[in-house]
């Protein structure tokens, strides 16, 4: 049985007290720091919560923004704790952008402790939220970006927020957003073509946690179940639930269990072994809650989503 990892005893008050000692950001985050000047005009200091949102901001903002990404690659956003450096970055931000739908439950208290009084942009605004299952906190499913149409809506929201903060850059933001939207359309089309190559009876998905509902709904996959039956990867699960999932995998003819890059693979491996099916992990693990390391094939949203689709399609018997 997996259990929630205990949180550390660090409080937001203690973190706020550490601001005087903290730098503007980590050494591996060249986008951190206060607003400055670029070749085309003033830059905005933008704090983005997740790797996906940070990637969107970078694509829309170009060299008019400096982005501090709070959650690093491979870190589970459901059980994240901010650091003193995160509060320092927030205290100097011109704009804060979150993914939304309750994914960043820690953000409101952290923003308050940092003394930030500016705009917090919720990139999920206007998106139809998936409900059902074992919702955490009543928010619904926060993994909205796994449908590229939702990603386009997030990008539009981010572009509008940047333009509201930096009117001189409005044309740049709108042009960048339009160019990136075309790439999202191409990704969406390629995903569908690849998934259509999977035999209809084999379009069935089992993952670590319930993170691919939007993806399944968009591309016509059947979501059989998840090892953690929740939108929140830190939720607890029981042995009975695991046994039920194994039985469901066997009875439904599922071909593979997919592990996720930000979660330990052990339980997925155990479930797959008991069900007698393949487990897809290691370099093939899916990007469910974030992206891969900077510079890796999954280090951008477009790369991570292509990786996910290629991995799923190959394991289910399709062509990429």
Number of domain units in the chain: 2
How does 306-317 read in b/e, with b if 16+ C-beta sit within 10 Å? bbbbbbbbbbbe
For the record, the structure tokens of 235 come out as 């939720």
| CA-CA-CA-CA dihedral for 130, 302, 216, 273, to nearest 10 | -120
Q: Are residues 102 and 18 part of one domain?
A: yes
Residue 1 in domain: no
| Predicted confidence band of residue 242 (pLDDT cuts 50, 70, 90) | confident
Structure confidence at residue 231 (pLDDT): 67
Vertex 215 angle, CA 310 and 187, to 5°: 55
For the record, the structure tokens of 204 come out as 């069935």
Beta carbons of 155 and 60 less than 8 angstroms apart: yes
Range(s) of the domain holding residue 68: 12-189
Residue 149 in domain: yes
pLDDT exceeds cutoff 50 at 8 = no
Q: Are residues 301 and 167 part of one domain?
A: no
pLDDT exceeds cutoff 70 at 295 = yes
Structure confidence at residue 252 (pLDDT): 95
Structure confidence at residue 42 (pLDDT): 63
Q: Are residues 111 and 237 part of one domain?
A: no
Structure confidence at residue 237 (pLDDT): 65
Structure confidence at residue 267 (pLDDT): 86
pLDDT exceeds cutoff 80 at 15 = no
Q: Are residues 260 and 280 part of one domain?
A: yes
Encode pLDDT of 254-290 as tens digits. 999 999 987 878 889 999 999 999 999 999 999 999 9
Domain boundary among 173, 189, 205: 189
Q: Are residues 166 and 26 part of one domain?
A: yes
- In which region does residue 255 sit, left (phi positive, over 0), alpha (psi from -120 to 50) or beta (all else)? alpha
Rounded Cα gap, residues 319 and 310, in angstroms: 8
Structure confidence at residue 235 (pLDDT): 57
Encode pLDDT of 50-109 as tens digits. 999 999 999 999 999 999 999 999 888 877 899 999 999 999 999 999 999 999 999 999
Q: Are residues 166 and 58 part of one domain?
A: yes
Q: Are residues 112 and 217 part of one domain?
A: no
Residue 5 in domain: no
| Predicted confidence band of residue 236 (pLDDT cuts 50, 70, 90) | low
Q: Are residues 163 and 26 part of one domain?
A: yes
Token pair 């390391």: residue:
293
Cα torsion angle, 227, 231, 234, 239, sign: negative
| Predicted confidence band of residue 19 (pLDDT cuts 50, 70, 90) | very low
Distant-in-sequence, close-in-space partners of 85: CB < 8 Å, separation ≥ 6: 22, 23, 24, 25, 26, 32
Structure confidence at residue 14 (pLDDT): 42
Q: How far is CA 223 from CA 4, 133, 206, 209, 229, in A?
A: 24, 12, 6, 11, 11
Encode pLDDT of 113-172 as tens digits. 999 999 999 999 999 999 875 545 578 999 999 999 999 999 999 999 999 999 999 999
Q: Are residues 248 and 166 part of one domain?
A: no
Structure confidence at residue 77 (pLDDT): 86
Q: Are residues 250 and 216 part of one domain?
A: yes
Encode pLDDT of 24-57 as tens digits. 333 334 333 334 555 555 699 999 999 999 999 9
Structure confidence at residue 32 (pLDDT): 37
Q: Are residues 180 and 31 part of one domain?
A: yes
Indicate the DSSP class of residue 91. H
């Amino acid at each position: 049985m997996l259990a929630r990892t205990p949180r550390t005893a660090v409080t937001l008050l203690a973190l706020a007290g550490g601001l005087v000692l903290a730098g503007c950001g980590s050494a591996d985050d060249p986008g951190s720091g206060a607003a400055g000047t670029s070749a085309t005009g003033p830059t905005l200091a933008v704090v983005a919560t997740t790797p996906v949102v940070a990637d969107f901001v970078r694509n829309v903002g170009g060299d008019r923004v400096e982005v501090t990404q709070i959650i690093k690659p491979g870190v589970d956003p459901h059980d994240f704790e901010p650091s003193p450096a995160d509060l320092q970055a927030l205290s100097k931000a011109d704009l804060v952008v979150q993914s939304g739908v309750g994914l960043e439950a820690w953000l409101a208290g952290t923003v308050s402790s940092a003394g930030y009084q500016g705009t917090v942009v919720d990139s999920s605004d206007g998106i139809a939220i998936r409900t059902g299952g074992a919702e955490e906190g009543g928010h619904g499913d926060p993994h909205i970006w796994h449908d590229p149409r939702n990603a386009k809506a997030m990008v539009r929201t981010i572009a509008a927020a940047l333009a509201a903060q930096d009117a001189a850059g409005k044309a740049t933001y709108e042009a960048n957003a339009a160019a990136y939207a075309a790439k999202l359309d191409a990704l969406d089309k390629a995903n569908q073509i690849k998934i259509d190559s999977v035999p209809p009876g084999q379009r069935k998905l089992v993952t670590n946690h319930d993170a691919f509902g939007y993806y399944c709904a968009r591309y016509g996959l059947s979501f059989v179940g998840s090892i953690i039956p929740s939108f929140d990867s830190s939720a607890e699960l029981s042995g009975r639930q695991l046994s039920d999932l194994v039985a469901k995998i066997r009875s439904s003819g599922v071909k593979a269990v997919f592990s996720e890059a930000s979660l330990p693979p052990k339980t997925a491996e155990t479930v797959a072994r008991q069900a007698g099916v393949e487990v897809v992990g290691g370099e093939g693990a899916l990007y469910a809650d974030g992206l891969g390391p900077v510079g890796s094939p999954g280090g951008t949203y477009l790369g991570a989503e292509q990786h996910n689709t290629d991995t799923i399609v190959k394991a289910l018997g399709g062509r990429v």
